[in-house]
Structure 1
Amino acid sequence: MKFNPTFILDQSVQSHREKIALVFDEKSFTYEEVLKEVSRAANVVSKLGVEKRNIVMILSFDSMQALSVWLGTLRAGAIPAWVSPLYNKETISYFLELLEPKVIFSDVSLLDRLGLNGQRVVTLGGRVEGLQDYASLSAEVPDQFEPIKVHRDDPTYLLFSGGTTGRPKAVVHTARDFVHVPHRHSKFMGWRESDVHYATSQKYFTHGMWPGVLIPIANGASAILTTKKLTPQVVADILRNHKPTVFITVPTVLKWLVNLEERPDLSSVRMVVSASEKLPIPLLEKFRELYGIEVLDSIGSSEVTYEWISNRPGDNKPGTCGRPIFGVEVKLVDLVTGTEIREPNKLGEVWVKSDTNAYYYLRDLEKTRRTMVGEWIRTGDVMYFDDDGYYVHVGRNDDLFKVKGMWVSPLEIEEVLLRHPAVLEAAVVQAKDADGLTVPAAFLALRPGYTMNAELESELREMVRRELGEYKVPKLFRQVEEIPRTPLMKLDRRRLREQLGERL
């Protein structure tokens, strides 16, 4: 079976030609205009000598130019790889070696990150002497392009893993994602043609690209994007001015909205979906109290394309990630014995099987063999399902640790700490005490007016002891300005562990 992944755009153009497809800040693009932009990009990519299955690297924050190049590369039968500009020069150098891109499209503000050595570069968002710029190239080519068909099982585009435990990995996906993901997620979540989507994650993340661009395009819906740096005020302004109906975000952004003095009107929003990291119950409850909207927690990964377990309207259990998405099969595997778990309330690693599982990690056979086992992907996430069949996220298998022979989940300790009025953010990691024994250690960002002292530490210790037991009480409480996060806005536990050293 052969087709081009951008068929989702062609189909929507046929029935929604004059409808607004994308809004970038104050500029709107109809479906017909988006198709023309994407076709120009495909012509530019082809004119630069890019052939079928060549990799095209994009280094940029969200912009219409960058998004057009990503989609245009697909339309030209090549493989787009949108790399996060939040990575440092060393990591981007690693990507250049890994990807060996035929062409690099880079925002002018990021050229110094490239450390170029003969690669062909086209600038986005401006001109630089000695380099070609996208605006000029796209002005010279037609706004029509006959899409290059690929096999549904051909390597088609790259996503990148979060890199919380080492360098990010390039995850190879196929064209079949464009058939399955929009259909199964829209049916499961109840997303529809009349919706206006706003996904706060940048579009080089799967949590930004799929629900924030590709799924609404496939549905003939509309999507809101911004070129602005994400801040509490930017998010509030978008919600206030553009009135989305579906709001896809992360716990950090929800926390921003809870703490805003001047809160936006969310009366247009019929659904809020959270992912990227576990949504703490105190934050969920506070958001519901202030805005009157239930937040649907979910979990996904680049390796499975997008979400694989989620709550949904009419089937939402706070404190859980929900149930498997339509078309996704999930099993739990015992962390010690490796056998499948069929009873509720037992911890296991999540394995996922779906038609949108990644094929492999680019140029990493060892990691591929460890992660992709037959039809299954080992996610590295540890969960259990409760008596009602809802899945509860306990942590990553490399974040969990044992104290006195019993498993400890940093997430459950953090959730207790966050209930204290002094605590704004909390992160728990494993540490070694003076005797070399494993113990929990807590990093805390406190609300204004609070300082870590003996009285506060005693209160926090007692809260954890009362709710979880003595062995889960952190042996260290360290106040920090803010909790470090990865480019995916997840807690960066690796950096915190490095700060502790070998012994407390």
Structure 2
Amino acid sequence: MSNDATAPTAPAGQADAAVRDAGRSAHDEFRAARDFLVAHREDYDAAYTGFRWPELTEFNWALDWFDRVAADPANAERYALWIVEEDGTEGRWTYPEMAHRSNQVATWLRAQGVRRGDRLILMLGNQVELWETILACIKLGAVVIPATTLLGPADLTDRVERGQARHVVARSADAGKFADVPGDYTRIAVGEQVEGWASYAEAYDADADFTPDGPTQASDPLLLYFTSGTTAKPKLVQHTHVSYPVGHLSTMYWIGLEPGDVHLNISSPGWAKHAWSNVFAPWNAEATVFLYNYTRFDAGALMAQMDRCGITSFCAPPTVWRMLIQADLSALATPPTKVVGAGEPLNPEVIDQVRSAWGVTIRDGFGQTETTVQIANTPGQDVKPGSMGRAVPGFCVVLVDPSTGQPASEGELCLDLSSRPTGLMVGYAGDEDRTATAFAGGYYHTGDVGSIDENGYITYVGRTDDVFKASDYRISPFELESVLLEHEAVAEAAVVPAPDPIRLAVPKAYVVLASGHEPDAATAERILAFCRENLAPYKRIRRLEFGELPKTISGKIRRVELRGKENEAAERPSGEYRDEDFPSLKG
């Protein structure tokens, strides 16, 4: 493939398994696309060339897919959901049981006034009621606004007001957070009885013979996600009954999920990644969603449960991977055969250590709340060090030079809208200007920068607002952070520009130390010397400061906050170390 700044040509969609038959049901259309990807799980070229998104005008994933899967005798005993608690207790629910229970919840929610098109805030932990309610809302045609249990009254007020929520389903323990949240909305508590709130437990007495009030249009809204707000006030990302349920066929393909897999994804409810890998991707594959609930991360305890329960597929964000490699990875006697990472790019050091210990390669994937997986290292393909892979089936990725608006070998990661992927949002609800900007020029603009090689492999460079210039050289924070993480003393790192009178800006690292290392001058000197040895002169980290990293409640590093801190500093911060402080680093 030539280096034309475009991922492989748009899918032709002519493979037999994906060709549309006249009169085929929505279920059959979806299954054909699903089966095609499973059959070509390790044949990227065939999958990319032959895959076509199912053409659906009416589709209700819970009714047309999940319930049909549950009715299949082959899934009569297959677990859809398996939750293990920290104290060792656990719950397991088969596909038929989840179909039955969600029917009851749908019938009961309808009795509470939940109607098609109503917006419902869902604020639960990793508990069976979360999955029941998601399925029930899909069946009803209600619009789900996922919310993390970490939210406070101010965030909830914003979600009720801007989200125009008419109903709330929350844990009893969180009901008090809504005391000062204005609005005329139905309040439903999961857990102990709460005065003024309906009790979710009553749903289990409802009729399980659910009948929808009519067909669900594929274009009907299903999900409203408030983004994590790394740089600005959260946006409202709107998805439909196909853009996430069907769109996550790409995520299923990236992970390599198959019927019968037991998939563990480390993610908190309320965020898009939870829906990616704890709902749609595994259930599209007829796999088991596995959860291990813990109050504090313990690598040893997690691996013990993975061994005991036979986890075959594992996904975790970089923060968890970095904590895992500080533990004894050999404690996991039977590692999963499918391991992936998402949320932020993975550093080569992490990938190397896991490969050495488990004999498997972590495969990176790239997507957003606004999309399903767009780019990934897919099963059976060579993994190029530092690259996050190639465009996945169903996505045509183009790198666009921001200054010219033309394709380039390095530029903003964009999706070509002339072959619009199903796994792409409708837009930002209530914000026409922001939506227009995101879809300008015939592309969907991700706001991320990457580079592409002659084989279509794409390497992540950074957010458009994170990349900066130092001495007129373009600097990718991610590249520098990857080198930092190779040092034994560094557990986490974030690089931002620090104002400099000569170079305009110089790279500065904020570092979280691994256990056993002191935040002193000697440690700073060793880390800066390591960077000096492993980075080109213009990329060298010139300043360093120890301390915790500011993060969003979804766990992403808020570099914007660190940049602001640097720009506002009138003088050198106490606790900052500079390369000029150390004679060994001069010259």
* Common topology (TM > 0.5): yes
Match of 1:361 in 2: 428
Question: C-alpha distance in 2, partners of 1:268/1:292?
Answer: 8
CA contact (8 A) 1:12 1:219 kept: no
Cα shift at 1:146: 2.0
Question: C-alpha distance in 2, partners of 1:179/1:474?
Answer: 43
Letter in 2 for 1:420: H
Letter in 2 for 1:2: E
Is 1:164 the counterpart of 2:227? The answer is: no
Is 1:36 the counterpart of 2:100? The answer is: yes
Match of 1:223 in 2: 289
CA contact (8 A) 2:123 2:270 kept: no
Cα shift at 1:143: 1.8
Check 1:191–1:266 CA distance in 2 against 1; reply closer, same or farther (3 A cut): farther
Match of 2:355 in 1: 288
CA contact (8 A) 1:89 1:113 kept: yes
Question: C-alpha distance in 1, partners of 2:134/2:486?
Answer: 42
Question: C-alpha distance in 2, partners of 1:168/1:242?
Answer: 38
SS at match of 1:259: coil
Question: C-alpha distance in 2, partners of 1:260/1:162?
Answer: 29
CA contact (8 A) 1:236 1:263 kept: no
Is 1:61 the counterpart of 2:125? The answer is: yes
Is 1:416 the counterpart of 2:483? The answer is: yes
Cα shift at 1:34: 0.2
User: Which structure carries more strand by proportion?
Assistant: 1
CA contact (8 A) 2:254 2:373 kept: no
Match of 2:28 in 1: none
CA contact (8 A) 1:335 1:347 kept: no
**CA-to-aligned-CA distance 1:413-444 (integer Å, 9 cap, x gap):** 11111122221211111222367932221111
**CA-to-aligned-CA distance 1:296-342 (integer Å, 9 cap, x gap):** 011111111x211010222122311001110011000113222111x
Check 1:268–1:472 CA distance in 2 against 1; reply closer, same or farther (3 A cut): closer
Question: C-alpha distance in 1, partners of 2:244/2:220?
Answer: 12
- Within the candidate set 79, 83, 87, 1:24 is matched to 83
SS at match of 1:151: coil
Question: C-alpha distance in 1, partners of 2:224/2:235?
Answer: 10
Question: C-alpha distance in 1, partners of 2:169/2:295?
Answer: 20
TM-score by length of 2: 0.80
Question: C-alpha distance in 1, partners of 2:399/2:457?
Answer: 13
Moved more, 383-392 or 233-242: 233-242
Cα shift at 1:375: 5.6
Larger Rg: 2
Cα RMSD, aligned residues only: 2.2
Match of 2:136 in 1: 72
Identity of aligned residues (%): 27
CA contact (8 A) 2:471 2:503 kept: no
Match of 2:9 in 1: none
Q: How does 1:282-431 map to 2 (within 5 A)?
A: 282-304=349-371, 306-315=372-381, 316-341=383-408, 346-353=409-416, 354-373=421-440, 376-431=443-498
- Within the candidate set 205, 208, 212, 1:143 is matched to 208
CA contact (8 A) 1:323 1:390 kept: yes
Is 1:174 the counterpart of 2:249? The answer is: no
Match of 1:243 in 2: 310
Match of 2:70 in 1: 13
Question: C-alpha distance in 2, partners of 1:215/1:187?
Answer: 8
Check 1:420–1:183 CA distance in 2 against 1; reply closer, same or farther (3 A cut): closer
Moved more, 390-399 or 88-97: 88-97
CA contact (8 A) 1:12 1:217 kept: no
CA contact (8 A) 1:88 1:113 kept: yes
Cα shift at 1:182: 4.6
- Within the candidate set 181, 185, 189, 1:119 is matched to 185
Moved more, 200-209 or 227-236: 227-236
Cα shift at 1:105: 0.7
Unaligned runs of 5+ in 2: 1-56, 85-89, 573-587
Is 1:3 the counterpart of 2:70? The answer is: no
Cα shift at 1:152: 0.9
Match of 2:146 in 1: 82
Question: C-alpha distance in 1, partners of 2:441/2:150?
Answer: 34
Q: How does 1:428-443 map to 2 (within 5 A)?
A: 428-433=495-500, 437-443=504-510
Match of 2:566 in 1: 500
Cα shift at 1:465: 3.5
Check 1:60–1:185 CA distance in 2 against 1; reply closer, same or farther (3 A cut): closer
CA contact (8 A) 1:383 1:392 kept: yes
**CA-to-aligned-CA distance 1:316-373 (integer Å, 9 cap, x gap):** 22311001110011000113222111xxxx4200012412211111112222111123
Cα shift at 1:64: 1.0
Moved more, 435-444 or 165-174: 435-444
Question: C-alpha distance in 1, partners of 2:196/2:318?
Answer: 43
Cα shift at 1:457: 3.1
SS at match of 1:419: coil
Letter in 2 for 1:14: A
SS at match of 1:431: strand
Question: C-alpha distance in 2, partners of 1:307/1:183?
Answer: 9
Letter in 2 for 1:74: I
CA contact (8 A) 1:276 1:488 kept: no
CA contact (8 A) 1:201 1:207 kept: yes
**CA-to-aligned-CA distance 1:37-66 (integer Å, 9 cap, x gap):** 211221122112122111111112221112
Is 1:256 the counterpart of 2:323? The answer is: yes
Check 1:200–1:449 CA distance in 2 against 1; reply closer, same or farther (3 A cut): closer
Question: C-alpha distance in 1, partners of 2:437/2:244?
Answer: 26
Check 1:139–1:454 CA distance in 2 against 1; reply closer, same or farther (3 A cut): closer
CA contact (8 A) 1:74 1:157 kept: no
SS at match of 2:343: coil
Cα shift at 1:268: 4.9
Match of 1:190 in 2: 256
Is 1:469 the counterpart of 2:536? The answer is: yes
**CA-to-aligned-CA distance 1:125-176 (integer Å, 9 cap, x gap):** 222122212112x033112312342111122222332321122222111112
Match of 1:478 in 2: 545
Count of aligned residue pairs for this structure pair:
497
